Every structure is written in C-alpha cells, then in structure tokens.
Structure 1
C-alpha cells in the first residue's frame, strides 16, 4: 500500500521536478548557443576578412556550417535518446528553434531577392529565438542576448552588405557566446 504524501512532500517533489527541467533546458541550451555562436561568428569574421583581402571565394568559409549541422543533429538525437523524460519546456524550445532554423533556410534561399541583405533578417530571427528561450527559462542574460542581436540587425540594415558580416560576427559573440557561457557555468554550479 502506497503512503500518502503530505502537502510539503508533494510541493518538494514538484519544485524539484521544475528545477530539474529548468536546469536541463538551460544547461543543454548552452551547448547549442556555444556551438552555433562559435561557428557562425567564425564564419562571419572569416568571410569579412577574406572579402577585405580580396579573396575570390570568401563564401567558402561557410562550409564550416555543414559539419556543425551534422554534429548538432547528432547531439540532439543522442540527447533525446538518453533523456529520462521530455518536458513541455523541452518541446516548446525545440519547436521554436526548429522554426528559426526553417526561417533561416528560407532567407538563405532568397538571398538574391533580398539583395544579399540576409544577415540582418537572420539576426532578427535569432533574436526572436533567444528572447523566447530567455523568457521560457527565465534567464535575463539570454534575453539580453536577444536585445544585442536585434540592435545588431538594425545597425546591419544601415551598412553595406560586406560590413554586415562584421556586425553579425560581433553580435554572435555578444548575443550567443556570452549567454551560452553564462548558462554553461550556471548549469555546472547547479549540478
């Protein structure tokens, strides 16, 4: 016969489950922020430097996105198969970022139509994903990263296309890597 839980025991179990879900979402989120923050900032800075050096094919640097994509999908698959439980928060976050990813693919497909002003639009999409993530996991520095990305999008719209890569690289460092390292360090402290 099962023992009935007191209200304090029930509250403690619920609080513990919420804390675990938040810890898992925030900590695992740091992996993606760090991976994509590094890859996209390196690609943006690399493209900018190669173009300024008059390299004939500066866009070759973007090939780095392919192995990062495979690694990201592998990591996601591995994480899902190891997960003891899938929270509603996990599902919402993954759907938000899937939507951002699809939006970015569409934008990349229409770069010529956009006059190659795709970086500001991508920064806006990333800002929306970061703001939603920061709101859901209740971490202000992630929402601050969204603000940085949104401001960078405005600045980038006012610059020539070649300079937008420099702005996007800086935005990724401040808007993705800073929050990503904060989440990683905070997640470690909670373990």
Structure 2
C-alpha cells in the first residue's frame, strides 16, 4: 500500500483509524490503553486521546485537531516501520539455476555463509570459505544437505537444495534471533 492509499484509508474512517493507531501505539507506550477500533468515539477513545496528549502532545483537550492527528499518525508510522518484518530478498536465481562442482558464482557466497552458521547447530558441515567457488568443501556441504533431506547427493546447488537450506536457516538461526528479540522487547514493557 502506498503512502497516498494509506492516507485515503485513514481519512475514510477517521475514528476507527484513530483507534487503530492508538491501539498500535499502546505497544510502545504502556500508558495508552488497548482500545477497540469500533468507529465510535466513546469514553475509552477519549481517555486514550487525553493520555496521549498528557504524555506526548500537550495540552490535554480531548479533541483531535490536525496537530494531534498528525502527531499520532507520525508516531504510528514510525512504530509500524520499526515493527515491520524485513523485506524478503530473492537471493537465488531462477528455477533452472544450478551451480556444478568446480563452478564459481557470486550468489553462492550467501549459501556458503549460511552453511558456516548452520555448522554451529549440526555435525557434518565442513569448514569452508564463503567465496563463491563451489570447491570440494562447498560440494561436500551441498551433499550433506541433500543427504539430510533424502535427495539425490549430486553436490549441485540447485533451487530445491537452496530452498531446503533456507528452511533450515530460518528454523535454527532466524527463529533463535526472533526469540531473543521478542524477549528483549517484552522485558521493556
């Protein structure tokens, strides 16, 4: 969604949008109550607006003028950027791409580096340089991965092997990182 589309959506249902933004902001600002985005400017919404104004945007009026709206919106946009998942990046070329033993490809540096990290979690991964050369250690690691998945042990880094590597990396490395991040964030609440 573009910024213009977002802006139109927010303005189409201003009370519901205000409630949604304030509810999301309560993740960062514990003094804000978690209100329901029902589209009715009731007591809970008034309370949330007044608390927002008291703590972040004086004076406390309970009214959402343009300045208050813009401050809530800007803080919400910053929070959404902070909480957003990182953009996925396509690291392996198309479906037909294959790196044969002895070949060199720059994009092979990424799976080699991923395998180096996965070696902390698995026995059988050979120490290798992340240099893009599909030499003996890189081929052995590719075969290890294929063997672990029950695939043909060709030593060729192809799309199927790459996707398996990606899943392992997400399960063991990214998962661990998410758990650390979430426990760190919860500790601040």
TM-score when normalising by structure 1: 0.30
Which one has more relative contact order, counting CA pairs under 8 Å at least 6 apart?
Answer: 1
TM-score when normalising by structure 2: 0.31
Whose helix proportion is higher, 1 or 2?
1
